[in-house]
Structure formats: structure tokens, C-alpha cells
Chains A and B, each alone.
Chain A
Amino acid sequence: MRPEHWLFTIPLRLRSLFRWSQADQELEDELRDHLERKTEEYVSHGMTQEEARRRARIDLGGIEQTREKCRDARKINWIQDFVRDLHFGLRMLRKSPGFTAVAILTLALGIGANTGMFTLLKVVMLQSIPVRNSNELVVLRWSANKQPQHSGFSSFGDCPWRRWTNEFSGGCVFTYPMFEEIREHSQVFSGVSAFAGPAPLDLSGNGRASIVQAELISGDYFKTLGVSAAAGRTIEPRDEKPGADAVTVLSYAYWQGAFGGVPSAIGKSIKLNGVPFTIVGVAEQGFTRLTPGHSQDMWLPLTQKAALRIPWGGPPEKPSTSFWLVVIGRRKPGVTEQQAGASASALFRNLVVDEKVFKPEDDPKVAAVPAQKALSGIRAELEQPLYILMAAVGIVLLISCANVAGLMLSRAAAREKEMAARLALGAGRPRVIRQLLTESVQLWFAGAALGVVFAYWGAPTLAAFVSANRHSPFQIKAEPDARVLAFAVTVAALTGILFGLVPAFRGTRVNVAPVLKENAGSMAGASFTGTRRFGFGSGLVVTQVGLSVILLAGAGVVVRSLANLKGIDPGFDTHNLFQFGINPTLTGYYKTDQVDRLYRELQSRLSGLPGVSSVSYSSDTLLDGGLWSEGLKIERRTDKSNADTQMLAVGPDFLETMKIPLLRGRTLTKDDMASGRPVALVNREFVKQFLEKREPLGLRFGGTDAKDPQYEIVGVVGDTKYARLRDAIAPTAYVPLKEKEAHFALRTSVSPQALLPAVRKVVSDLDNNVPIFDVRTQTERIDRLLFNERLLARLASLFGMLALILACLGIYGLLSYEVSRRTREIGIRSAFGAHSQDVLWLVGRQGLAVVILGAAVGVLAALWVTRTLGSLLYGVHPSDPMTFLWVCALLATVGLAACYIPARRAMRVDPMVALRYE
């Protein structure tokens, strides 16, 4: 069409779109005018008024059709049609509230589960770092083909490489001189900053002493990230200078939580590890994290680490061999990651060769990795369960869509007459299909709207569950946002059209004449459209049953695996055990014997609390994820290689409190602690692996360094699990605890909540400046340890049950429809003497066939799907026969129950009523 043409046509189209009631009125007037004139003409030819009017109408060929054709000439009619379809669809949906409610609820469950999971997935996996232009940020990583000369390594920076070989080493942390070299001399970054942590610090001077997580940062951290202050100022380069005032900047959440968000907190002095610090500001609210899942309470300049007695970075006089800083830079505009990496690489190489960390032939180099990718945090561990669960909710969505498609199919059958009437009145089939599609999309959108509401409520619950089970609870804001809404709308539109299409096509495949004939109603359905439609409807239900088998089987093996993990005997009594951590060494004024005395005093006072039967302490809590392991040399051992041993430093009565059996010799006593004699206990596995039938008692073992203490074995104890339940039993040695943080364990019959205030009082009576932390029962620790498994088991069972319910609804709906369709047939059969069992079988076999077929297909698919869970499972095969058997039995029971109700209705069909039914 030529542009000038549009000048005419566009206003016309717009007019017919926005003023269609006027356009319609004019059309109406025009046609009426025509009819009047025509009538007058015929009258003037001698016809009667009545006859003339009839002829005029016949000439016009059906006023309604002509009017419709004229409307169609307007081209944008489809918009008008669409709006009319919407109105009509709403009316139809309102007319059958039962169907509408079930369909919307079903879809809402499917879409809601997906939206909720997607929200969580988005927060954990997809959300970008909440700072300005985060795509410019890169994190540096080094690699080389030899191991470096180093004196220590931190584990910050979420490094993907752990294991070094003789040909490869690599890391995500740098020494301070390396960072400084790159910061001072690199031309490719608009800012370079380093950070390390978080460090747990003892905070006092603001109410009760507590432990805070602080990140040590270089002075240009906030400037590089582009984060400003919500109050006061951020940390600035001058704060990093030697001799600068000790200052700290709080995170917004901590400011709100610990200081109530009052502005007067700025300028306040607090004590960190006993050292006074001034709060100079609060970071902006949006800056919740750099690494997903790691939230800080506050930030401090790197240079304060010596004052805080944080041992990272080695002694100040030897900074060039201690790797501990994560280096993050902001690329200048136009600088690629490769260029940034190459520039940093050159500086790095010169420095490390100069400082003899590497030789030139070791090929030391640096790469710049996008910060979003490099700082993975919890992403790494949650990735697998989250994607598995996302797949599971995808299956739930498919089931709910298939379910609603089935419902619509049976409704289409009930609306056969309506469709026939529309087609007979001249509506084109595409037009009717469009109408039906509009109805289904409406249904899907209503489902999506309700689903988003579900997600709104569910996602934060889910996020809280995730957050509460982390070692350091993190801020996670799981609220559906624009992206989530777009996701829900897309899902609804796609599935609505996809699953609405078939019912719409089937629904309009109506043979007009027989359907419209009186009395033909349900028989017609049975005779010609019925068989094929039933085939498709059954197919939908088979799909639902099959998909729910997949989910249930997946959930089954995960639940069994969790049960296996929980059923593991850890070698000590995990019940009624309450633990908390304490670290008087942070506050600094304690000497070894003072720490020792404090612990012993605490132990005796805590033992005196009502309901507490035994108290002890150790350097670490068992089954809490932490592990201290050393390579030891053992006296008179033939094998001279290092004996890798798990170490645990313990206080007196540790065995008694934990209920670890003493097998030989004696346990560690108060006197051992007081005398400082190097005595130790070893477990049975230690004896079995390292001592080859030699008498263990009296043997000595210890570190490989000459200065390391050599312990004398005084007892052999039972085996226990140390860091994680999944780990195999390993050689373990228990040595007396000295000069370390301690985790107190209380064997108690009282609930931890009731005990906690008394415990806090005992501690603060002894020293008001020593906070307690990590307060949990052993069972809670194990739960946290098994978090991924529990998350999977809990949600997978939930989704599996949901799937089962939906599939049963599907079976029920299919059979109910069949029964109502065949009421007349059943009536005739009964009239001719069919027994109620025959009728039961007539209906029931269909349900049975669907369940059996669905289960068979589902089992085959599940065998393949559950294999992907392999690495997550413990002590159960992915295709565990028992689980599959249980799933099938469950499905058969519930499925048959779903068959029974409609079948019973069929049995009760009264022939007389049925035959008169039409």
C-alpha cells in the first residue's frame, strides 16, 4: 500500500477501533434505512406491507450476516472481536464456577510453584552484583605451571581450583605487594581494590557482646565498586594509611538491626576484639553483598588487621609470600577482559619473578574474570539442587496444564451443542477456535495471577528456609519482581495457547446436523467425535500419571537417601546435645593458662545448671562441616609417609559428654590439661590403619616439624564421624585443648531455649566482654549439614504429592466425563440385565488402563531421570526397586480411589432415569 493511501485509511481504522459503537450504530441505521426504502418500493409495486418487508429482508440475505460482513470489512475487526471474546469468555467462565475454580487453582499451583522456584533461582543464580555497572567489574586469578613459594593461602575468592600438581597451580588470592603493584601501575582499570574475609570479630560497647562478620578492605573498595554511603561516609583511601584512625563502616542491614537505624550511631565508638573503632558511616541500602550468600556486618581497612590480631597475610615484615587478598578491578570503558588480564599479567610476572615466588619459566600469569562469574558464593553448592527443583516444578506445570486441557476437553464435549449452533449460524470455524483460545488464555492468565500471589507468599518462605540453614545467615530478598512477572506471563501465554489449541480444535470439530437434532445429544458424542476425543483425553491423563511417577520416584530416592544419611550412626549420641562457641583469644588479654582456667571455670559452672548432666568442650563441633586435619609421623611405624589424621582438641570429660565409648586405656583428665603433658587419644580406625597390630598405648605421634609436640597415646576410643555424615570413618586423634576458641557441649535434658539465658548469664558473670556464638543443638547442626538433601527431599516430596493429586484429579475428571457421556448406554445395559459389577468394570477398566499405562511409561522415564540424581544420593541406587515399587503401589491405590467414585456413580445409574435423561 502506498503511504498516501494510509493517510486515508489509518483514521478510518482508528475510528472503527475507538468509536466502534458509533460505527456500529451507523451501520445499523444504514441497513434499516435500506430496508425501509426497499419495503416502500415493494409496496409501491403492489405487495402488502408484510410481504414487502419479508422480501426486503430476504434480498439483504440475513441482516445479521450482512452486518457481520460489513464489520469484517473494517479489517481491525479482530481487535473488537478479541475484546468481545474476552467479555464472552469471562461470562462463560463465570457460568461454570466449579470448572473455573478447579482449573484456575490447578494452573495457579503449577505456575505458582514455577514462579516461586524461579524467584529463588533468580536471586541465587542470576542476580547481578548490586552495584553500578557491575559488568565492568573483574576479579583477578593467577595460574602457573609450578607451585609458588608461599607461606600461607586463604580460601577467599570462591576459587574453582583447589588441587595443585607439579605442573599446575592457580589461585584467586594475591599477596599485598602483588595487589599494590597492580593497583599502582595498571593503566586498564579505573579502580582496583582488594578485600578479604569475612573475619569474625568480637564486638562490645553496644549492648551485649556479640560476634560480627567484618570484611577487611582496601581504601578504594567503595570507590571502585561505586557504592556510596546511606549515612556518614564510606571507607576512603586515607583510612588505609599507616597510623590512620581506626574506623569502620556498617552495612545497612546491620545498622538497622543492631543500632535501630539511628543517625547517632555515626561517630559512635565500639570495641572490636577489644580495640576501639569509630563508626564513620553506613553503606547504601542496596549494597547487600558482593558475593551471593556472603553478607557482611561491617567493613574495616585492611591495615587494621594487626591491631585486631587477625593472622591473615602473615607477619607484617614478610608480606610477599602470604596469599590472602581477593583483587577486584573496574575495567576502563573500552578495555576488554583480555586486555585487562594481559596488563595485570605483565605486572604480576615482573613482581613474582623479582620476589622469587616463581621462576620466569613457571609461566606465571593473571586472567581477569567477570566478577559476576568469579564470585560464585553459594551459587556453586545450590546450583544443582535448584536446577533439579526447577525441573521438578516444570513437570508439575506440565501436569497441571495437561489437567486443565483435559478439563477443557470434557467441557468442549458438554458445549457441543453451543458450538454446533455457532457454526450453523455462520460463524467460521477459525472464529470459534479463536473464541475458545481466548477463553483458555483467560483461564491461564487468571491462573498465573493467582500463581504469582502464591509465589509472593511462598518464595520468601523458601528463601528464609535457605538462609536460616547457612553458616552465616545472609540477606536474601526473594520477592517476585518485573523479571519474575514476565516469566509468569510468558509461561501462562505459551502454555495457555499450546494446551488450549487442541481442546479448541477438537471442540469445534462438530458435525452440525446430528448434534442439533433433538435427543441426539450424548449419543452423538459417543458415536463419532467421542472415540477420538476420548483417546486424546486419555492420552493427557496417561501423561499426567507418567509425569507424576517421575516426580514421585525422584522424591522417593531422595527421601530414602536422606533417611539413610540420618540413619548413619555417627559414633556418638547426637540427641540432647546443646553447643555454643566462645573465643576469649579474640579479646586478647588472655594468656594460655588464663584461657584454660576460664574454660575449666565455665565447665564447672555450666555443669551446675539444672538439667545439665555433663559439660565439655572441643576446638570444633563434630558434624558441623569443619575439619582440622594434619599429616603426622608415628613412632615405630614402618610406612614413613605422613599419616593423614583428623585432629580434635578437647577438654576433660569430652568422651563422657559426647558418649563416645572408651575402648582401652584411660580418658583425658583435668590433670592432663593442667600439667600440659602431651597425651592423646586415638580412635579405632587410627589403630587399624597406622599401627598394624602393635600395642597403641604408650606410642608417640606428632607433627613432622621438630618443634611440634609429640603426643603419647593413653587411650583408644570408638570411631566417630567428624566433618560430615557422608565421609568415611577416618583416623582421628584427640589432643588436649589449649589457647584456642572452644565449642562447649552440654548434655542436657532441658530444651536449649530454656537453657540459653542461664548459659548466657554464666558466661557474662565470668567475663562480660566475651560473646558466645554459633548457639545450636547437635541435631540442628546435622540438619544444616544435610541442607541440600533436606531442601531436595522436602520440596521434591511436596511437588510429588502435588503431582499425584493433580493426576488423580485428571483420572477422576476423565472417568466422570465418561460416565456422564455414557449414562444412557449404561442405563440400557442395566435395563438388559447387566450387573453392577459389569458396569463397574465397564468404567473401571478405562481408569485402570490409564493408570497402568501411565505408570509403565512413567517408570521407564523415571529410570532414566533419577540417574541424574546419582551424586546426591547416599546408600540408595537411583533406580532403587523398593522405591519404584512403593511409588507404583501408592499410585495404584490413589488412582483406583479416583476411579472408584465415578465408577460407583455409574453403578447407581437407574435405567429408567437414564433412558428418560435426554
Chain B
Amino acid sequence: MLVSVTEDIQLSKPSDLVQGTLDMLLLKILALEPMNGFAVSQRLKQVSGDVLQVSDGSLYPALHKLEQEGWITAEWKTSEYGRRAKYYSLTRLGRRQLEKEADNWGRLSSAISRVIKLNEV
């Protein structure tokens, strides 16, 4: 009774993203270079051309979840402007996870594309 009640299942699944994709996106972005949360949100917006709307409110819980899973690790660093910020980077486990998810995604998206491209008779 006491343990089963947290609602964190929904943390990384904002309604506008396919299940599990946010995790993958974050892992991919962090695979390129370590960066802090703010930079992640900027980069996300930048690369997806504002198509993928990830609110800041979903971003941070997702990052924390990935950290707890051991896929990314965090470190406090002083940034270029002399500001201290928490930098996230991918771990070995995270890289493996990313490959797995990217594989899955590739299979899923090509399957979906094939379905979509079916010609109507």
C-alpha cells in the first residue's frame, strides 16, 4: 500500500511525444556533447525546428530520471560565463541504451512509413 502510489510513470511522456522518445532524444543530444539543462532545451528546440515542443517542466524530471537510471551522469562545472551549472553527459550504459532505442525507433518508424505509403486502391 505504502509504496505503490507514486505517479512517476508518466514523468517522461509528455502527450505530444511518442512514448519513450523524449528519453531517446535527450540521450542523443547528450551523446554529442555534455551540456546543462538549459542548453539541452535550446538544442532540442533548435534541431527539431520548434516541431517538438518539450516544456521545461517535463525536461528536468526526464533528465533526473535518466540520471537515476544510470544512463547519464551529472557534474557541476563552471560555464563559459563563469556560472556554475549542472552538466549532464552520457555514460557507457546510456550509450548502449541509446543504441537500443535508436534501433527500435528505426524499426518502428520505417514500419510506420511503410504503412503510411501504402497506396489507396
Answer whether A72 and B7 are a contact pair too, CB < 8 Å, given A9-B70, A26-B86, A61-B55. yes
Q: Tell me, rounded to whole Å, the shortest Cβ–Cβ distance linking B4 to chain A.
A: 8
With beta carbons under 8 angstroms apart, the residue of A26, A60, A433 that contacts B56 is A60
User: Bound complex: CA of A896 vs CA of B11, how far in Å?
Assistant: 56
The answer to whether B56 touches A34 (Cβ under 8 A) is: yes
Chain B residue numbers with a CB within 8 Å of A31 are 60
- List 19 other contacts, CB 8 Å, given A34-B38, A60-B60, A70-B64: A5-B69, A12-B70, A27-B64, A30-B86, A33-B36, A34-B41, A37-B38, A38-B38, A38-B56, A59-B57, A61-B57, A69-B60, A73-B67, A74-B64, A78-B2, A430-B4, A434-B2, A437-B2, A497-B1
Give Cα A78–Cα B8 distance, bound, in whole angstroms. 12
A61 to B58, alpha carbons, bound, how many Å?
Answer: 8
In the complex the two chains form, is B56's CB within 8 Å of A61's CB?
A: yes
Cα-based distance from A13 to B64 in the complex (angstroms) = 12
Q: Point out the residues of chain A lying under 8 angstroms from B106, CB to CB.
A: none
CB proximity of A878 to chain B, nearest CB, Å: 42
- Given the known interface contacts A9-B70, A59-B56, A70-B61, the answer about A430 and B38 at a Cβ–Cβ threshold of 8 Å is no
Is there contact, CB below 8 Å, between B68 and A74?
yes
Q: Is B93 part of the contact surface with A, judged by Cβ < 8 Å?
A: yes
Q: Which residues from chain A sit less than 8 Å from chain B, CB to CB?
A: 4-5, 8-9, 12-13, 16, 26-27, 29-31, 33-34, 37-38, 59-62, 65-66, 69-70, 72-75, 77-78, 82, 428, 430-431, 433-434, 437, 497
A497 contact set on B, CB distance < 8 A: 1
State how many angstroms separate the Cβ of B70 from the closest Cβ of chain A: 3
B70 and A8 contact, CB distance less than 8 A: yes
Whether the Cβ atoms of A5 and B55 lie closer than 8 Å is: no
B6 at the interface (CB under 8 A from A): yes
B5 partner residues in chain A, CB cutoff 8 A:
428, 430-431, 433-434
B91 to chain A, nearest CB (A): 7
The reply to whether the CB of B3 lies closer than 8 angstroms to some CB of chain A is: yes
5 closest pairs, A vs B, by CB?
A61-B57, A430-B5, A8-B70, A69-B61, A73-B64
Contacts of B64 in A (CB 8 A): 27, 70, 73-74
Q: Which residue of chain B lies nearest to A74 when distances are taken between CB atoms in the complex?
A: B68
Interface residues in chain B, defined as those with a beta carbon under 8 Å from any beta carbon in chain A: 1-8, 11, 36-38, 41, 55-58, 60-61, 64-65, 67-70, 76, 83-86, 91, 93
A72 to B93, CA, bound (A): 22
Contacts of A16 in B (CB 8 A): 68
Output the least CB separation between B15 and chain A (Å): 13
Please name all residues of chain A whose beta carbon is closer than 8 Å to the beta carbon of B60 when the two chains form the complex: 30-31, 34, 60, 66, 69-70
Q: Are B86 and A29 in contact (CB under 8 A)?
A: yes
Interface-centre pick from A62, A77, A434 (highest chain B CB count, 10 A): A434
Whether A12 pairs with B56 at a CB distance below 8 angstroms is no
Q: State in angstroms the CA–CA spacing of A13 and B57 once bound together.
A: 23
A73→B11 contact, CB < 8 A: yes
9 A–B pairs (Cβ distance < 8 Å), ordered by A: A8-B70, A29-B84, A30-B37, A33-B83, A33-B85, A38-B56, A61-B57, A69-B8, A70-B64
Name the residue on B nearest A10 (C-beta): B70
Q: Are A5 and B93 in contact (CB under 8 A)?
A: yes
Residue among A31, A33, A60, A69 with the highest chain B CB neighbour number at 10 A: A69
User: How far does the Cβ of A159 sit from chain B's closest Cβ, in whole Å?
Assistant: 51
Contact B68 A75 (CB under 8 A): yes
Question: Can you name the residue of chain B whose Cβ is closest to the Cβ of A82?
Answer: B2
By beta carbon, the residue of chain B nearest A26 is B86
Kindly state the separation between the CA atoms of A618 and B7 in the bound complex, as whole angstroms. Answer: 84
Q: Which of B41, B64, B84 is most buried by chain A, counting CB atoms within 10 A of its CB?
A: B64
Q: How far is the CB of A111 from chain B (nearest CB, A)?
A: 22
Residue of A nearest to B9 (CB): A72
Given contacts A61-B57, A428-B5, contact A8 B38 (CB under 8 A): no
Flag if B57 contacts A26 (CB, 8 Å): no
Residues on A with beta carbons closer than 8 Å to the beta carbon of B36: 33
CB-based nearest B residue for A4: B93
Residue of A nearest to B37 (CB): A34
Give A430 to B11 CA distance when docked, in angstroms: 17
Given known contacts A61-B55, A434-B2, A69 and B86 CB-to-CB distance under 8 angstroms:
no
Chain B residues with CB under 8 Å of A60's CB are 55-57, 60
Q: Is the CB of A12 within 8 A of B67?
A: yes
Q: How far is the CB of B1 from chain A (nearest CB, A)?
A: 8
| Distance to closest chain B CB from A685 (angstroms) | 68
Closest partner residue, chain A, to B4 (CB atom): A430
The 8 Å CB contact of A73, one of B68, B76, B85, B91, is B68
User: Could you tell me if B84 and A5 are in contact, using CB atoms closer than 8 angstroms?
Assistant: no
Q: Which residues of chain A have C-beta atoms less than 8 A from B55's C-beta?
A: 59-61
Bound Cα distance from A484 to B8, whole angstroms: 41
Contact A73 B37 (CB under 8 A): no
Give B27 Cβ to nearest chain A Cβ, in Å: 15
With a cutoff of 8 Å between Cβ atoms, the chain B residues found around residue A4 in the complex are: 93
Q: Known contacts being A34-B37, A78-B6, is A12 close to B57, with CB within 8 Å? A: no
Q: Which residues of A contact B61 (CB under 8 A)?
A: 66, 69-70, 72-73
Q: How far is the CA of A434 from the CA of B7 in the complex (A)?
A: 14
Q: How far is the CA of A74 from the CA of B6 in the complex (A)?
A: 11
Let me know if B76 and A26 touch, CB within 8 A: yes
CB distance from B88 to the nearest CB of A (A): 10
Question: Is A9 in contact with B38, judged by CB distance below 8 angstroms?
Answer: no
**Which residue among B4, B70, B84 has the maximum number of chain A CB atoms within 10 Å of its CB?**
B70
Q: How far is the CB of B49 from chain A (nearest CB, A)?
A: 18
Q: How far is the CB of B86 from chain A (nearest CB, A)?
A: 5
**In the complex, which residue of chain A has the Cβ closest to the Cβ of B62?**
A73
Q: B65 to chain A: closest CB distance in Å?
A: 4
B contact residues around A70 at 8 Å (CB)? 60-61, 64
**Bound state CA distance, A428 and B10, in angstroms?**
13
Question: Which residue on B lies nearest to A5, using beta carbons?
Answer: B70
Q: Does A33 lie within 8 Å of B7, measured CB to CB?
A: no
**What residue in chain B is nearest A429 (Cβ atoms)?**
B5
A16 to B65, CA, bound (A): 13
Q: Are B86 and A33 interface neighbours, CB within 8 A? A: yes
Chain B residues whose CB sits within 8 angstroms of the CB of A66 once the complex forms: 56-57, 60-61
A134 vs chain B, min Cβ distance (A): 40
Alpha-carbon separation in the docked complex, A117 to B58 (Å)? 57
Q: Known contacts being A26-B76, A33-B38, A78-B6, is A62 close to B57, with CB within 8 Å?
A: yes
With the chains together, A665 CA to B23 CA distance in Å?
A: 113
CB distance from A9 to the nearest CB of B (A): 5
Q: Closest residue of chain B to A8, judged by CB?
A: B70
